[in-house]
């Protein structure tokens, strides 16, 4: 029998329902806040167990708080996802048929690209060939803005990519629909769209850019983990979010006790 939800679990779930997705640092802070607010036992390393209690109650509703990684920065995120529907039909209550068709075509462009992005120009061109109902330029831009606001797409300098939430919620659909095009990351084994690829034609493995940063960190002669060929791509730095840096600094302050002054030092201070 599933353990009933306490008030701390309910507050955590309510916040997830409002936000949809939060990064790992915010999830840890929210866990602590919910426990302290409602007088529940708090342990900083028990977030996963805390979420398991919530997920056990969500299972009959085909919902789940799932953990995943961002392709852009490699940070961990927690998202409240719908497990009942695996394709874009889950969006039908919020988007019209032609808007959903535009989203599908945007996904096609992103998956077909070499860098996991689609330009706004290419997406606007797709809007002219919709079979349901064509969208004008301004209407297309409005739909794209909504998709970004609803956290289905990311936008950077006019290029669009699938958001962390979208990949976490639709990964099985993406693998099924694009099974001949999509590969998984050799390191983390999740769908790899924004990634680097081994240039050995007999290998061709893909690795997420953040996974590349962590795997090759400190290596002066980077080699493909599958075929041992030289890895010719630029190795990025490991990204650390401002929130995780502040967490580290706070922990350091908490763990650093003031150095006691010696009796001699105290006497010299008093004499001066």
To 10 degrees, what angle do helices 24-37 and 47-58 make? 80
* pLDDT for res 172: 85
* pLDDT for res 259: 43
Task: Take residue 199 and report the two structure tokens written for it.
Answer: 């240039």
- What's the average model confidence in pLDDT over 220-242? 88
* pLDDT for res 248: 45
- What's the average model confidence in pLDDT over 229-238? 92
Residues in Cβ contact with 142 at an 8 Å cutoff, skipping those fewer than 6 apart: none
- Residue 260 pLDDT grade (very low, low, confident, very high; cuts 50, 70, 90): very low
Tell me: the pLDDT tens digits for 31-81? 999 999 999 999 999 999 999 999 999 999 989 999 999 998 899 999 999
Give, in degrees to the nearest 5, the angle at Cα 96 between 135 and 119. 50
| Residues in the chain, overall count | 272
- Residue 267 pLDDT grade (very low, low, confident, very high; cuts 50, 70, 90): very low
Tell me: the pLDDT tens digits for 117-173? 999 999 999 988 899 899 999 999 999 999 999 999 999 999 999 999 999 988 888
- Residue 88 pLDDT grade (very low, low, confident, very high; cuts 50, 70, 90): confident
* pLDDT for res 10: 97
To 10 degrees, what angle do helices 97-112 and 120-127 make? 140
* pLDDT for res 198: 95
Q: Is 96 left (phi over 0), alpha (psi -120 to 50) or beta?
A: beta
Question: Which of 204, 195, 229, 226 is CA-nearest to residue 69?
Answer: 195
């Amino acid at each position: 029998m599933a353990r009933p939800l306490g008030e701390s679990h309910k507050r955590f779930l309510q916040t997830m329902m409002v936000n949809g997705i939060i990064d790992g640092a915010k999830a840890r802070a929210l866990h602590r806040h919910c426990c302290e607010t409602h007088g529940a036992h708090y342990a900083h390393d028990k977030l996963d167990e805390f979420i398991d209690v919530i997920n056990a109650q969500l299972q009959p509703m085909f919902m789940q708080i799932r953990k995943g990684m961002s392709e852009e920065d490699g940070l961990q995120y927690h998202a409240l996802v719908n497990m009942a529907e695996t394709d874009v039909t889950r969006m039908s209550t919020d988007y019209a048929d032609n808007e959903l068709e535009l989203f599908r075509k945007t996904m096609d462009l992103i998956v077909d690209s070499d860098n996991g992005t689609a330009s706004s120009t290419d997406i606007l061109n797709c809007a002219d060939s919709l079979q349901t109902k064509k969208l004008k330029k301004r209407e297309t831009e409005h739909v794209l803005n909504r998709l970004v606001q609803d956290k289905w797409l990311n936008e950077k300098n006019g290029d669009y990519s699938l958001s962390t939430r979208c990949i976490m919620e639709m990964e099985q659909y993406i693998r099924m629909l694009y099974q001949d095009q999509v590969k998984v990351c050799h390191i983390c084994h999740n769908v790899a769209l924004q990634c680097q690829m081994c240039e050995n034609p007999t290998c061709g493995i893909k690795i997420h850019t953040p996974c590349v940063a962590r795997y090759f960190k400190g290596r002066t002669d980077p080699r493909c983990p599958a075929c041992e060929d030289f890895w010719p791509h630029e190795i990025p730095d490991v990204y650390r979010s401002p929130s995780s840096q502040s967490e580290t600094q706070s922990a350091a302050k908490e763990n650093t006790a003031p150095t006691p002054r010696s009796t001699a030092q105290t006497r010299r201070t008093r004499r001066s």
